[in-house]
């Protein structure tokens, strides 16, 4: 959750300070700085190379990826003054088709957002890149170790494969030959749903699972790239997939293309098309929430291997190629004699650029006639007379007809195609006339009509209709009209883009820590804490034996697993239950293919007496790198930290989820409540890049954003709540501040402006939000409510300030002034409506009512202490418990921290009774709950693995106890505040964040009247340090051998350090890069 950094804003903008870092160094500093350099006296080579936000496995379809690296000049107050980047193609797709780039020496301090500026990148290529830097003494570092990135398929013409629509659980395969030595091979694949790739008899990557990433499938599908060079063989090969619908609402649709570069430089592409075959597989049921059904008796040994006899398999439903010639009719208006608009059928579907029937667009459908000899017509307006060289009629093949599969449904038995400049077709040219005799059904093949005409209108007239029983219709999936050389473009079904996120992987296998038998006689396996993934079973069972594997977070009163707490009602069927039928062919292992579960326990129902079973848990999540560590002297706080990070990882499943059990949706509120915690603990740059794209594709035309992304057509189900939608600008801004790249702002600025403008439309004349379509509670699951209009208006103020900041970053000064002024208007309206100046009461007097305006700067000047006192009084009145929910808990912790009362926040954090984090972790199951009470009710609010509350304390750990805060004046941790809080009974706190510039360390240890504080600041950063003086300005402070603060003023300078004044019990210091160790000794020592 974003909190304004005004109170902690640094006085030294990073980009200026980095280039002028020498001003922080005393006369002896330059000599001391060289001691930290390489043994030969030169700077060290850069490390931590990143391309488009990732350090490993980088796939990009960005024509200008951005680079970042860590400068390793280890002397104090060092700075990069210049850099040089070299990019080279590592292998060829076609001889000599790619060129490298050498930036030359570029004078710049930037090491976090440097754009590729070389020759156009070539598709399907591995590039290597390296960088070197110059320090402030003008010395060049050695070249870094080479890093790599892969380009995906950058151009529409790179795709030659077709989209396939197959049955849920289907097996799909094709054979091909390799007759030359292979230098490089990449398998590209993407799906509406989930596909599992197999090559030559084995899964391509057994630990990479659940592809493709969840998106707004009708807006975009993300494709993966797998290196299969070593898995290809000379001679016969087989490429195969198992497909499931996952979270897609329909049968799975996928595309795959294997691009091969041979040793001689020639290339080949093997893609999905109508030659592929399919058959039902052993997965006979696929419900993403309730579980998978698997019948091992239907397994087909060798189905994915070369030489398998698939003669009995059926041809696939190949919808259309990924790319096609752009139709002159695409997006043009359609009129008809009559029409039926329902279940995906509409006039607009005739010219939407989707060349087959799909769930979202089946095509055009006339009204039903009761006899075949009926005339129907449909036509399109090209807008002006166009040169027409061909017309193509694409047959419909309904995806939603429960009566069966009907290729060419409604394709006319007799028809004619005409063009005209007259919309009434009183004067028309006939291109094809098949009205005299019945025409054979074209099946799945489009009908091409060649011509050389000039006209504005194109009409298809059916004079005899096909009938099913007494229902006769005229239907077409698409009407294509083409000029002489139509441009090759991607089909309009969806946008196929590279997946920039780390894949979802099996990251760990766990054995149960305990096994017991429920009162019903079923074995129950306890894995010790909540995880996400699945329980795998290995057993030898008689053929036809059916077992059910129920996975859940808690046990019922009989010792069995219950899913009541992750259900919406008591009548719900058990969730997260996989059903397995044994083949009876010896020892077999089962794990689900198309879903996951959040669980601590697994119970097996239906095992025969005496059956020997081995059960293990496979831990699965998006494989983001761990970048943070935090610990204290208090075991309870450490236990909470472990619960927070576990909960966060459990809820990263290609999108930031609310919970991995009941809903599995990308709730904006939950993500916004936890993004700063997530970015402290994990590398989230590319992950958020993907998910912010989901928000953009889910946004509504009026600028509003649904409360869940991707919405997948559920915008009306997940209506806008400003308290949830605020996550959009917050995460964009926080990603910029954390990682230093302007890309999120550049990509989303227009939509975020539209969001803030939308908020104005649901606000009254005082700019107070009054017309929100939805309010997800009055502070979701708080123990004391706060009226939602109160915090919705406060978020409107925050969002306006964020847009103004983004505008300044982009140089949009007019927008910056406009939205800053709007923010002030909102502030005035907020205070007018919700602040009683005569009593000092905000809102309804809840903790949230005081905390939020304190953090956001909405408290009238001079009234901050009064509001803080009221907040603390309420905390004390509730026995040091927070009364807030998802919205307010972060604000309570941050308000207390921002105004110097982390002692009160620590009291909240250390409580072990309900409602508290300590109570959660003491009760189990090792993760953060959705709400404070320990509930098992089937009420849709009792999840035991929910990140919404956990982000609050996780953020507080790093930003307040350790005191690490990224400054807005130097994005990418170019400006840092280090302001540790030495409070309560804590004797030590240690935190480290691996930032894009390098490690930031803040670690303190208190021993009576002595404090030792160690910090590490990366090159390119300037830190504003607020060093605690243990309650007395007369404390003595040493840094290394130097006394930098003493009661008598007898001090010496320390390299890289500028000593400021004492203020609020702290000593202000400004430090350049390097390691520093401070010792504070109070006068009482």
Q: What is the 3-state secondary structure (H, E, C) of 178-196?
A: ECCCEEEEEEEEEEECEEE
The β-bridge partners of 820 are none
Q: Give yes or no for residue 32 having a pLDDT over 50.
A: no
Q: ∠ CA 674-680-681 to the nearest 5 degrees?
A: 90
C-beta separation of 651 from 658 below 8 A: yes
Q: Which helix (H) or strand (E) holds 870?
A: helix 864-877
Q: Which helix (H) or strand (E) holds 429?
A: strand 429-434
pTM (two decimals) = 0.94
The reported pLDDT for the residue numbered 716 is: 87
Chain centroid offset of residue 988 CA: 35
Question: Which string of b and e fits 92-121 if b means at least 16 CB within 10 Å?
Answer: bbeeeebeebebeeeebbbbbbbebebeeb
The CA-atom distances, in angstroms, between 141 and each of 45, 63, 137, 145, 985 are 5, 28, 11, 12, 46
The reported pLDDT for the residue numbered 1049 is: 80
Q: Are strands 376-394 and 429-434 parallel, antiparallel or unpaired?
A: unpaired
pLDDT band at 37 (very low <50, low <70, confident <90, very high): very low
Q: SS3 string of 743-769?
A: HHHHHHHHHHHHHHHHHHHCECCCCCE
C-beta separation of 980 from 989 below 8 A: yes
Q: Give yes or no for residue 472 having a pLDDT over 60.
A: yes
The torsion defined by the Cα of 331, 337, 343 and 348, in degrees rounded to 10, comes to 0
| Dist CA 575 CA 661 (whole Å) | 8
The reported pLDDT for the residue numbered 3 is: 59
pLDDT band at 1052 (very low <50, low <70, confident <90, very high): confident
**Closest listed residue to residue 1018, CA positions, set 21, 107, 27:** 21
What is the DSSP code (8-state) at residue 205? -
The reported pLDDT for the residue numbered 170 is: 98
CA atoms within 13 A on the CB side of 656: 35
* Size of the chain, expressed as the number of residues it contains: 1085
C-beta separation of 215 from 222 below 8 A: yes
Report CA torsion sign: 296, 301, 305, 306. Answer: negative
| Dist CA 879 CA 862 (whole Å) | 28
What percentage of residues in the chain have a pLDDT greater than 90?
A: 92
| Dist CA 1015 CA 505 (whole Å) | 35
Surface-to-core class of residue 950, CB atoms within 10 Å of its CB (0-12 exposed, 13-18 middle, 19+ buried): buried
Q: Give yes or no for residue 95 having a pLDDT over 50.
A: no
Q: Give yes or no for residue 91 having a pLDDT over 70.
A: no
C-beta separation of 69 from 131 below 8 A: yes
Q: What is the token pair recorded at 1074?
A: 């390097």
Chain centroid offset of residue 1043 CA: 48
Q: Give yes or no for residue 550 having a pLDDT over 60.
A: yes
| Dist CA 449 CA 451 (whole Å) | 7
Q: Residue range 763-778: average pLDDT?
A: 97
Q: Which helix (H) or strand (E) holds 836?
A: strand 835-836
| Dist CA 361 CA 460 (whole Å) | 19
- Helix and strand numbers (H, E) in the chain are 16, 60
C-beta separation of 1047 from 1083 below 8 A: yes
Q: List the single range of 36-45, 85-94, 882-891 with lowest mean pLDDT.
A: 36-45
| Dist CA 280 CA 314 (whole Å) | 10
| Dist CA 362 CA 341 (whole Å) | 10
Is cis: bond before 1043, omega within 30 of 0? no
CA atoms within 13 A on the CB side of 634: 18
pLDDT band at 18 (very low <50, low <70, confident <90, very high): very low
Q: Strand order in 975-978's β-sheet? A: 964-966, 975-978, 1022-1028, 1066-1071, 1057-1063
Task: Give Cβ neighbours of residue 673 (< 8 Å, ≥ 6 apart).
Answer: 1, 886, 887, 889, 890, 947, 948, 949, 951, 952
| Dist CA 35 CA 29 (whole Å) | 10
Q: What is the token pair recorded at 319?
A: 């919808």
**Closest listed residue to residue 390, CA positions, set 436, 353, 431, 352:** 431
The reported pLDDT for the residue numbered 4 is: 57
What is the DSSP code (8-state) at residue 53? T
pLDDT band at 400 (very low <50, low <70, confident <90, very high): confident
Q: Residue range 910-920: average pLDDT?
A: 98
Report CA torsion sign: 315, 317, 322, 328. Answer: positive
| Dist CA 187 CA 200 (whole Å) | 13
Q: Give yes or no for residue 8 having a pLDDT over 60.
A: no
The reported pLDDT for the residue numbered 41 is: 47
CA atoms within 13 A on the CB side of 57: 16
Q: Give yes or no for residue 651 having a pLDDT over 60.
A: yes
At 609-646, the pLDDT tens digits run 989 999 999 999 999 999 999 999 999 999 999 999 99
- Locate tokens 């005899």: which residue? 464
Q: Give yes or no for residue 23 having a pLDDT over 80.
A: no
Task: Give Cβ neighbours of residue 363 (< 8 Å, ≥ 6 apart).
Answer: 345, 349, 350, 357, 394, 396, 475, 476, 477, 478
| Dist CA 824 CA 93 (whole Å) | 56
CA atoms within 13 A on the CB side of 747: 21
Report CA torsion sign: 734, 736, 739, 744. Answer: positive
**Distance between start and end Cα atoms, the chain:** 41
Chain centroid offset of residue 62 CA: 17
Q: Are strands 577-581 and 478-482 parallel, antiparallel or unpaired?
A: unpaired
Q: What is the token pair recorded at 905?
A: 């926040």
**What is the rounded average pLDDT for all residues in the chain?**
94
The reported pLDDT for the residue numbered 478 is: 98
Task: Give Cβ neighbours of residue 1052 (< 8 Å, ≥ 6 apart).
Answer: 1042, 1043, 1044
Q: List the single range of 194-203, 304-313, 397-406, 800-809 with lowest mean pLDDT.
A: 397-406
Q: What structural domains does the chain harbor? A: 1-36+965-1085 (2.60.420.10), 44-150 (2.60.40.10), 160-321 (2.60.120.260), 327-486 (2.60.120.260), 504-622 (2.60.120.260), 683-836 (1.50.10.10)
The CA-atom distances, in angstroms, between 753 and each of 702, 720, 728, 750, 804 are 11, 16, 11, 5, 9
> What is the three-class DSSP state of 401?
coil
Q: Residue range 243-259: average pLDDT?
A: 97
Can you list the alpha helix ranges (DSSP code H) found in 3-111?
A: 14-19, 29-33
**Closest listed residue to residue 246, CA positions, set 670, 830, 712:** 712
| Dist CA 892 CA 886 (whole Å) | 11
C-beta separation of 869 from 901 below 8 A: no
Surface-to-core class of residue 610, CB atoms within 10 Å of its CB (0-12 exposed, 13-18 middle, 19+ buried): exposed
């Amino acid at each position: 959750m974003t909190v304004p950094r005004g109170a902690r804003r640094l006085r030294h903008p990073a980009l200026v300070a980095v280039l002028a870092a020498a001003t922080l160094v005393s006369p002896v500093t330059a000599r001391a700085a060289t001691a930290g350099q390489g043994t030969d006296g030169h700077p060290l080579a850069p490390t931590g190379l990143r391309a488009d936000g990732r350090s490993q496995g980088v796939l990009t379809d960005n024509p200008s990826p951005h680079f970042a690296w860590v400068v390793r000049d280890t002397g104090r107050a060092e700075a990069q003054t210049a850099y040089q980047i070299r990019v080279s193609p590592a292998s060829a797709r076609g001889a000599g088709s790619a060129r490298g780039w050498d930036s030359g020496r570029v004078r710049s301090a930037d090491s976090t957002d440097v754009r590729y500026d070389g020759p156009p990148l070539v598709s399907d290529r591995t590039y290597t890149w390296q960088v070197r830097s110059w320090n402030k003494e003008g010395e060049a570092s050695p070249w870094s170790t080479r890093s790599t990135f892969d380009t995906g398929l950058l151009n529409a013409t790179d795709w030659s494969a077709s989209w396939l629509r197959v049955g849920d659980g289907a097996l799909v395969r094709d054979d091909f030959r390799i007759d030359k030595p292979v230098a490089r091979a990449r398998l590209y694949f993407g799906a509406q749903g989930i596909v599992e790739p197999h090559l030559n008899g084995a899964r391509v990557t057994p630990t990479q699972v659940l592809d493709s990433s969840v998106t707004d499938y009708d807006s975009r599908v993300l494709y993966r790239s797998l290196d299969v060079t070593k898995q290809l063989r000379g001679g016969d090969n087989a490429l195969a997939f198992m497909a499931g619908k996952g979270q897609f609402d329909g049968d799975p649709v996928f595309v795959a293309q294997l691009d091969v570069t041979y040793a001689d430089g020639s290339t080949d592409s093997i893609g999905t098309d109508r030659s592929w075959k399919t058959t039902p597989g052993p997965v006979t049921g696929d419900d993403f929430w309730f579980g998978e059904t698997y019948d091992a008796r239907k397994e087909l040994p060798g189905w994915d291997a070369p030489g398998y006899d698939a003669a009995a398999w059926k041809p696939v439903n190949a919808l259309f190629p990924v790319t096609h010639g752009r139709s002159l009719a695409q997006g043009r208006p359609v009129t008809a004699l009559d029409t039926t608009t329902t279940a995906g059928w509409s006039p607009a579907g005739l010219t939407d650029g989707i060349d087959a029937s799909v769930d979202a667009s089946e095509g055009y459908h006339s009204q039903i006639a009761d006899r075949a000899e009926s005339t129907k017509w449909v036509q399109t307006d090209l807008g002006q007379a166009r040169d027409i060289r061909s017309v193509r009629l694409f047959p419909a093949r309904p995806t939603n007809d429960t009566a069966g599969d009907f290729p060419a449904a409604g394709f006319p038995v007799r028809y004619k195609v005409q063009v005209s400049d007259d919309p009434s077709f009183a004067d028309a040219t006939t291109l094809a006339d098949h009205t005299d005799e019945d025409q054979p059904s074209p099946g799945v093949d489009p009908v091409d009509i060649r011509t050389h005409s000039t006209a504005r209108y194109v009409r298809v007239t059916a004079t005899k209709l096909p009938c099913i029983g007494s229902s006769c219709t005229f239907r077409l999936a698409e009407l294509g009209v083409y000029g002489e050389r139509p441009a090759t473009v991607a089909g309009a079904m969806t946008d196929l883009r590279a997946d920039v996120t780390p894949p979802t992987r099996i990251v760990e296998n766990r054995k149960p820590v305990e096994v017991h038998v429920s009162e019903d006689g079923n074995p129950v396996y306890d894995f010790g804490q909540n995880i996400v993934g699945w329980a795998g079973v290995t057993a030898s069972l008689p053929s036809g034996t059916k077992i059910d594997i129920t996975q859940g977070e808690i046990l019922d009163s009989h010792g069995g697993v219950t899913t009541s707490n992750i259900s919406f009602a008591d009548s719900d069927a058990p969730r997260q239950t996989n059903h397995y039928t044994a083949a009876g062919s010896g020892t077999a292992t089962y794990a689900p293919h198309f879903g996951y579960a959040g669980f601590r326990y697994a119970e097996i129902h239906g095992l025969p007496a005496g059956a020997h079973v081995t059960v293990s848990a496979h831990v699965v999540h998006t494989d983001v790198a761990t970048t943070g560590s935090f610990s204290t002297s208090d075991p309870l706080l450490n236990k909470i930290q472990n619960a927070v990070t576990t909960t966060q990882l459990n809820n990263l499943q290609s999108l930031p989820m609310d919970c991995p059990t009941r809903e599995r949706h990308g709730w904006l509120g939950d993500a916004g409540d936890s993004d700063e915690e997530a970015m402290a603990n994990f590398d989230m740059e590319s992950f958020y890049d993907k998910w912010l794209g989901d928000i953009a594709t889910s946004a509504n035309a009026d600028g509003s954003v649904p409360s869940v992304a991707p919405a997948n057509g559920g915008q009306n189900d997940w209506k806008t709540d400003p308290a949830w939608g605020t996550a959009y600008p917050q995460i964009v801004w926080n990603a910029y501040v954390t990682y230093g790249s302007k890309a999120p702002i550049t990509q989303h600025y227009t939509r975020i402006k539209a969001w803030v403008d939308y908020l104005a439309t649901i606000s009254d004349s005082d700019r107070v939000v009054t017309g929100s379509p939805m309010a997800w509670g009055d502070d979701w699951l708080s123990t004391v409510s706060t009226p939602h209009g109160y915090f919705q208006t406060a978020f409107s103020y925050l969002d306006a300030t964020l847009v103004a900041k983004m505008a300044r970053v982009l140089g949009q000064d007019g927008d910056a002034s406009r939205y800053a002024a709007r923010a002030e208007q909102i502030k005035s309206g907020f205070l007018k409506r919700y602040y009683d100046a005569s009593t000092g009461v905000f809102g309804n007097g809840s903790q949230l009512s005081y905390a939020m305006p304190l953090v956001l700067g909405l408290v009238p000047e001079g009234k901050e202490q009064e509001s803080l006192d009221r907040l603390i009084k309420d905390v004390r009145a509730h026995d040091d418990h927070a009364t807030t929910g998802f919205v307010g808990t972060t604000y309570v912790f941050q308000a207390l921290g921002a105004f110097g009362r982390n002692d009160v926040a620590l009291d909240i954090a250390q409580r072990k009774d309900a409602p508290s984090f300590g109570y959660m972790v003491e009760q189990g199951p090792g993760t953060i709950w959705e709400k404070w009470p320990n509930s098992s009710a089937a009420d849709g609010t009792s999840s035991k693995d929910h990140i919404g509350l956990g982000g609050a304390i996780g953020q507080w750990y790093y930003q307040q106890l350790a005191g690490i805060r990224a400054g807005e004046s130097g994005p990418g941790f170019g400006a840092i505040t280090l302001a540790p809080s030495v409070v309560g009974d804590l004797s030590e706190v240690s935190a480290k964040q691996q930032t894009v510039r390098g490690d930031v360390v803040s670690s303190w240890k208190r021993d009576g009247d002595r404090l030792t504080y160690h910090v590490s600041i990366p090159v390119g950063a300037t830190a504003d340090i607020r060093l605690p003086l243990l309650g007395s300005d007369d404390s003595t402070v040493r840094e290394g051998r130097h006394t930098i603060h003493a009661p008598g003023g007898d001090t010496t300078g320390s390299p890289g350090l500028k000593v400021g004044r004492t203020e609020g019990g702290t000593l202000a210091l400004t430090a350049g890069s390097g390691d520093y160790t401070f010792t504070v000794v109070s006068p009482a020592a």
